[in-house]
Structure 1
Amino acid sequence: MTQDPSKLNAFPVFVRVEERVVVVVGNGDEALAKARLIAQSSAAIRIVADRPEHALADWIAANDVAHIRAPYDASALDSAVLAFAATGDEALDRRISDDARALSIPVNAVDRPECCDFFTPALVNRAPVAVAIGTEGAGPVLAQLIRARIDQMLSPSLGQLATLGNSFRDLAEKLLPRGSVRRRFWNDFFSGAPARAMEVGHADEAREAAAELLLRRTAARGHVALVGAGPGAEDLLTLRAQRLLMQADVIVHDALVPEAVVAMGRRDAERLPVGKRKGCHSKSQQEINALLVELGRQGRQVVRLKSGDPLIFGRAGEEMQALRDAGISYEVVPGVTAAFAAAADFELPLTLRGVTSSMVFTTGHDLKGGTLPDWAKLAISGATVAVYMGRSVAADVAGRLIEVGLSPDTAVAVVENASLSGRRLFHGTLADLPSLEGRGDLSGPVMTIIGDAVAGANFANSEPLTASRRTVTTPGPQGTATERTAA
């Protein structure tokens, strides 16, 4: 069976080691490194080292840990919850691993992944808060680089703040109703006055500020954030969007928003898909408007997650009007729209000095009517045109633009699944664009960019639009000829 590369082979957990035995076997630097790592916990460390090197011997003496100065024997593992084999001797490390597994003790053998039941992470310690970074043994240096970045992000006082929060936990559960009121208290606790006071070392002020927050509890007011999810890649989500997802009680999302983006919200947030793919609408816009208003009236914190940018073909105007009419507070968080992502995939300048200084966003459906829309006139004058959801109307777009004077040789760039790793890029001219309608292999969202600026794109990773329909005749045996479609 083919293994999914997105799945973890080692699932991260936190093992309870308080006053429980953790055994480290070895005489040198690797054993010392593991002992120092475990010493960040409250475990009872037992070191088995018959000839400890000076650094390890000094550390043992300075930290008053249990030391067995004798060759390794399986009895050294008695009552242990974890074991580390760090001898540098392959045969001995394997023996320690086999002994530990026979006793159902998880074991880690340094630099021998096949002998490991677990891997030690790079650790950011803000006890009782801990951040563990693991690479399943594939990149310890990478784990340390990530650790250094996270260490810079987290306040040194975070552990003290968490300890203070724990002292308020029972009282908060007693006084505050479950749900948004309690969640808002904790958000304010960890990001408001208590956190600021603890940051500057004023623990008493932090406690007073927390008590004041608790006494000032009020019924939660509903709020809706219309959030742009971007074109698909989760790392193109804005920091504000990510923060709001983590605070949301409910995530109302469109069908085109990938699961990886929705999953960036809290695990316990309610997720409500509202569909709206071409030809398959799970809810009407009126129903979505009513849902957002109802959730706001319930005091819920809502993220309305829209593909791309909510203000570009996202029908955000209708939702904002419904929320305004109902007196529900809301905000708009912009996102990276598909046109920008497609241009980035092509390294395509949407404006180009001396070529074009304007841009048009359209769905192309306007060209199916009898009246030529204003944007078509702009295209003729040199504007770059970005056509959303344009595969099914590609022939209409090309035909009408050529009919009103745009050159058939005008450059065209097409991207399926812009920004995602599985994106596909095609290039050609306006005359080639109708071939897009016949591409049944394009199942993802398609973005089309038309204009002279497209000629400045990088086509190294793109294929011609006409490649799928070009036929090549090759001579066959005994004078016959064979026709094939060029790929």
Structure 2
Amino acid sequence: MQYLPLFVKLTDKAVLIVGGGSVALRKAGTLLSAGARLTVVAPDFATEFLQWQQQGKAELIQGYFQPALLDGKLLVIAATDNDLVNAQVYDAASARNMLVNTVDDQPKCGFIFPSIIDRSPIVIAISSFGTAPVLARRLREKLEALLPQHLGPLAELVGRFRDNVKAKITGFAARRQFWETVFNSDVVRDVQANRLPQAEQKLTALLAEPQSLAGEVYIVGTGPGDPELLTLKALQLMQQADVVVYDYLVSPEIMELVRRDAERLCVGKKAGAHSVAQQDTNQLLIDLALSGKKVCRLKGGDPFIFGRGGEEIQALLPHNIAFQVVPGVTAAAGCAAYAGIPLTHRDYAQSVQFVTGHCRPDGSEPDWHSMSRTNQTLVIYMGLMKAAHIQQQLISAGRSSAVPVAIIENGTRREQRIITGTLSQLADLVTQHDVSSPALLVIGEVVSLQQDLHWFGQRAQAAVFAQPLTHIA
């Protein structure tokens, strides 16, 4: 992070602008809207500057920059069309440890102007650190269309109640839970409909109700790794949680979307190395929820497809703990799509079977004959350690040794690898290419389409990560 985002109170603070043209004018308008006291120095001034001088909003000095003009100023903006003058302003201000912005010259900026979305008192700033201002502006335009106009009045309303809420409700977590209730209530709808007196009455009634800290658990599937595959519901609950309990399979990019001040607890779970036993994870969820926490349990893929989400919910039920389940894009669907492998195809596979490479609790073998049918796609989760055994049993059960297979490592992620071959080569492919978890095995005739549809996987990967995926045949 090259710049620290800050919101600076400029009311009646002295700011110097060097330059009187259109570029300086745009900066001046932004600063005046924040209440700054402007001094502008330039040989000539745009008409608006003269009008602001008449209105007492700006002091104009006709002439050229002198370092003495920096005295008593909080911020300095160099906005001339002369690079030498701009550099002189930057050097003089920097020598005094003053914050200076040189327009359209990012290396000579101690601070930068972001693109602003104004829903006062809600203000959103977007910046590219001066490297791509047009891109930042386009992002602002998209967010402007998404953010409703009633955010400002809503913020003003709740701001008037802030002291009362703090006086009645003890503890940050309890207050935050109260405000979450408010923002999910009819108060918001009344503000949106410009029924402000009704909204205030309902907010008063909510505050008068007895307050209790009720815990809840969110079982959330995060998909195979690409953060753009998250559902809106998943993102919403990730932002509401007090505590996030996560596995190693949850990608770092997704963890970056968790609420900044939420406590984060890793419960491990890598193939062959479960750092926290499942029963201990279950008890952790129970203890956190009973203490009044909003707990977000993040799982790679989908929580109900080899994610043990059902077991965790069963553990919550005897304690009457409220829960929500948010499905995720399962690894089979996500990884196959990014690799360009259709799981079903009218000519190649009329069914698909998801299985796990882990042994059953009683040690019994799966139904290899049902898994070995032709015209069926077999997707095996957590199958790396058992690759040789899987290969042997499928061939013994009648599956052709020449049937295509794909190993998808880190599917949908930046470092995705696709390794293809035949069933007879499966174990050797895992060893030769040093495949590591997370990885998915796809076995079936549909894998033969991967070469023809490889462009799809490349395009999907490039669209998200702006780099080609790795493919090994």
Does the pair score TM above 0.5? yes
TM-score when scaled to structure 2? 0.91
Read off the aligned partner of 2:64 and give its amino acid letter: P
Structure 2 CA distance for partners of 1:459 and 1:347, relative to 1, 3 Å: closer
Indicate whether 1:336 and 2:329 are aligned: yes
Shift of 1:205: 2.1
Shift of 1:81: 1.1
Shift of 1:56: 4.5
Deviates more, 1:29-38 or 1:262-271: 262-271
Instruction: Give RMSD over aligned pairs.
Output: 2.2
Q: Distance in 1 between matches of 2:56 and 2:318?
A: 67
Structure 2 CA distance for partners of 1:149 and 1:236, relative to 1, 3 Å: same
Task: Select the residue among 82, 89, 93 that pairs with 2:86.
Answer: 93
Q: Distance in 2 between matches of 1:97 and 1:376?
A: 76
C-alpha distance after superposition, 1:167-192 (max 9, x if no partner) = 21111111012144311211133342
Read off the aligned partner of 1:323 and give its amino acid letter: L
Indicate whether 1:317 and 2:310 are aligned: yes
Shift of 1:148: 0.8
Indicate whether 1:302 and 2:295 are aligned: yes
Structure 2 partner of 1:247: 240
Q: Distance in 2 between matches of 1:202 and 1:334?
A: 36
Read off the aligned partner of 1:400 and give its amino acid letter: Q
Deviates more, 1:374-383 or 1:415-424: 374-383
Task: Select the residue among 344, 348, 355 that pairs with 2:341.
Answer: 348
Indicate whether 1:238 and 2:231 are aligned: yes
Read off the aligned partner of 1:132 and give its amino acid letter: A
TM-score when scaled to structure 1? 0.88
C-alpha distance after superposition, 1:127-186 (max 9, x if no partner) = 221111101111111111100111112222212221222221111111012144311211
Task: Select the residue among 444, 448, 455 that pairs with 1:455.
Answer: 448
Read off the aligned partner of 2:63 and give its amino acid letter: A
Task: Select the residue among 146, 151, 166 that pairs with 2:139.
Answer: 146
Q: Distance in 1 between matches of 2:121 and 2:436?
A: 48
Indicate whether 1:110 and 2:110 are aligned: no
Give the SS at the match of 2:74.
strand
Indicate whether 1:211 and 2:211 are aligned: no
C-alpha distance after superposition, 1:393-430 (max 9, x if no partner) = 11111111111211122111111111111111111111
Shift of 1:446: 1.0
Contact preservation (8 Å) 2:417, 2:472:
no
Give the SS at the match of 2:148.
coil
Q: Distance in 2 between matches of 1:287 and 1:196?
A: 42
Q: Distance in 1 between matches of 2:247 and 2:159?
A: 37
Query: Which structure 2 residue ranges, 5 or more long, are not aligned?
Result: 456-468
Q: Distance in 2 between matches of 1:158 and 1:304?
A: 30
Residues 47-126 of structure 1 mapped to structure 2, 5 A cutoff: 47-54=40-47, 56-58=49-51, 61=54, 64-126=57-119
Read off the aligned partner of 2:429 and give its amino acid letter: L
Shift of 1:266: 2.0
Indicate whether 1:265 and 2:258 are aligned: yes
**Amino-acid identity (%):** 37
Query: Which structure 1 residue ranges, 5 or more long, are not aligned?
Result: 1-7, 466-487
Structure 2 CA distance for partners of 1:66 and 1:191, relative to 1, 3 Å: farther
Structure 2 partner of 1:484: none
Structure 2 partner of 1:30: 23
Contact preservation (8 Å) 2:332, 2:379:
yes
Structure 2 CA distance for partners of 1:405 and 1:371, relative to 1, 3 Å: farther
Structure 1 partner of 2:461: none
Give the SS at the match of 1:209.
helix
- Aligned residue pair count: 458
C-alpha distance after superposition, 1:290-325 (max 9, x if no partner) = 221222222221111111111111111211111112
Contact preservation (8 Å) 1:413, 1:450:
yes
Give the SS at the match of 2:389.
helix
Shift of 1:258: 2.6
Shift of 1:232: 1.6
Give the SS at the match of 1:392.
coil
Contact preservation (8 Å) 2:372, 2:397:
no
